[in-house]
Amino acid sequence: MNPLLQFEGLPLFDQVTPADVGPAIEALLTEASAALETVTAPGFPAVWVDISRVLDVSTERLGRAWGTVSHLNSVADTPELRAAYNEALPKVTEFWTRLGADERLYAKYKAIEPSTLNAEQRQAHKNAIRNFVLGGAELTGAARERFAAIQERQAELSQKFSENALDATDAYSHFATAIELDGVPDDVKQTAREAAQALGKEGYKLTLKMPCYLPVMQFAKSSALREKLYRAYVTRASDQADADASQFDNSGIIQEILALRLEESKLLGYSNFGELSLVPKMADSPAHVISFLRDLANKARPFAEKDLADMRQFAIEHLGLADPQPWDWPYVSEKFKEARYSFSEQEVKQYFTAPKVLGGLFKIAETLFDVRISRDDAPVWNPGVEFYRIERQNAQTGDGAGKNALVGQFYLDPAARTGKRGGAWMDDVRARWLRPDNNQLQTPVAHLVCNFAQGMEVDGVKKPPLLTHDDVTTLFHEFGHGLHHMLTQVNERDVSGISGVEWDAVELPSQFMENFCWEWDVLKHMTSHVDTGAPMPRTLFDKMLAAKNFQSGLQTLRQIEFSLFDMLLHTSHDPATSIMGLLEQVRTEVAVMQPPAWSRSAHTFSHIFAGGYAAGYYSYKWAEVLSADAYAAFEETARNDGLPNLETGRKYREAILEAGGSRPAMESFKAFRGREPTLDALLRHQGMAAS
């Protein structure tokens, strides 16, 4: 009765306990190991579907169960669950490493005749052969053993890095006075007061969670308070944090991770981890990426310098700040934007109630991609989690075309809370797959996770959560990932949806969806004032649109700083030395705003140390070129009433979303646009096009 061993239907998130983890994973590892031995036996045929029927079915069960445990560890962390997860992690890592390096299985795959496969299977087979090589299948003896040990240790270190970042964030609190919070929005103060009262404390509990931290930095008039929170935020999980948080220091972990990555790369015949990381990506070399980033930085720098000069002048003339410090810039920026464009983020937020935004998001997706989205039922891990289904008339299903056929389903977990990892992400629960064991179509299921503010009660009235426009954009972004995963029509698991898509192209559908957050004909359907219910006035939207590219130069350089640091860290940096020297070098080259010497933002850079973006953070800027050019197709074909052309939406759905990873991303892009992408649309969208 172990809930992790129930594979009929959806995961039993509400029933899983830490005690279930060990027994379930042990049983599934035993089953998967037996399947591996079966398909690698001398007499077992080197036939794709025969191998899949035994091995893929077994490993998919392991992957789904471990995915459930990993997800709960990210969104509902407890000491007991963390202990169970960490106990099982080395065993799971060892199995996947062993599977990916098994020379017998590698030989079976090499013996498969590609001409016997369909197009989807051929792409999956090509990827599998590549992944065997990257997984160490051609290593022997001591090198093979060392490679396996590196994989296990890296998994442990990445998990510990993530835990330290979460614990350091959760551990901090400051109980502020009403005077300190002068200028902070009422809803933020209300939430902070309730948090303090729940602990029997006076004042307002401030944390480093984004729904609290960011508005304090933007709106608090007290520079001393901003400095206090800023220092705590940028020194999290580092040697610069307060003494009582020293156990969360990620310095040693970073150094060891980098050394292991370099060693792994050399074992596989590469000079550095940057080269290894790019093998399955669109970019062909680290030099190509670095050149791309520096070219974009040169184009953005004049705009960033103008952004900074304007802010400095405003700070002197209107705020009496002759020498703004790093913790002052968010405040200066917000006040400058309010003055220049005559509106504030706080004013905008009143119109973006979570239910209304979600309805607007669903409306554009339903219209553009010919689907229907509705509430559905499933066991969940928190009362605030919602579950939905996506259907489409005449969609390809396992039993033929049908009215309102199920296409996919997704969980939405929107609110920030203790024990939940920060940030926003999409992850898969299961992939679309024409299962080889029963010839039934398995529909895809996704997780969409954000960290927005929760709703609150005022005078006995429960009010819905309010989202900033950035929150709205984040929601559209993650939903774009979800659509990529759920609208696929590919039946081969390893290349359906997001699976098999090059890492530097996987952000295309997510960034593409962000564009609709700036279209009035879309936005007007998802605004409703929290108190009056009135839609957002067009005049306010026009002010937002005028401010769309406010400080886009600074924002672009910030992303390039992260991306260039990441790539140089994994190509030219000596892991035996501190990363701070390289970070300072990159900031000197790229940034126009310098942080204090004690800032340690890299110590919580989970994307590259715990999230799969190592030597791949450039993907965000790379994919922005693709997504901006893709969206330009909708601009070029827009209807007279301003709404998107549905034929363009169909073409995009079929060429990009439905194709998933069944072919190279460039082929999918060219199938949609008829040519390769150019930088023009990105520069234009961000207000940095040449006059």
- Measured between alpha carbons, how far apart are the two ends of the chain, in Å? 67
- Are 324 and 312 spatial neighbours (Cβ–Cβ below 8 Å)? yes
- Rounded distance, CA 606 to CA 619, Å? 15
Tokens of 630: 């893709």
Q: Which of 571, 642, 638 is nearest to 608 (CA)?
A: 571
CA pseudo-torsion sign 27, 131, 421, 188: negative
For 7, residues 6+ apart whose C-beta sits below 8 A from its C-beta are 61, 64
**Per-residue tokens: 520:** 């009035």
Q: Which residues are catalytic?
A: 478
Residue 206 has which token pair? 């401030």
Report residue 264 CA to chain centroid gap: 25
3-state helix vs strand vs coil in the chain, percent to 5: 55, 10, 35
Sequence letter at residue 579:
I
Instruction: State the angle between helix axes of 665-673 and 619-636 in degrees (0 to 180), rounded to the nearest 10.
Output: 20
Q: What is the DSSP string of 387-433?
A: EEEEEETT---TT---TTEEEEEEEEEEE--TTS-SS-EEEEEE--E
The rounded distance, in Å, linking the Cα atoms of 605 and 563 is: 11
Residue 404 has which token pair?
């309102």
- Contact by Cβ (8 Å): 368, 355: no
Is residue 427 within 8 Å of 447, Cβ to Cβ? yes
Both tokens of 514, joined, read 């962000």
CA 689 to CA 125: how far, in whole Å? 42
What residue type is 519 in one-letter code?
E
Rama region for 642: left / alpha / beta (φ>0; ψ in -120 to 50; rest): left
Please name which of 468, 215, 187 lies closest in space to residue 330, comparing C-alpha atoms. 215
Distance CA 66, CA 86 (A): 12
| CA nearest neighbour of 294 among 599, 677, 628, 567 | 567
For residues 643, 645, 648, 649, the Cα torsion angle rounded to the nearest 10 degrees is: 50
Exposed (0-12), middle (13-18) or buried (19+): which is 512, by Cβ within 10 Å?
buried
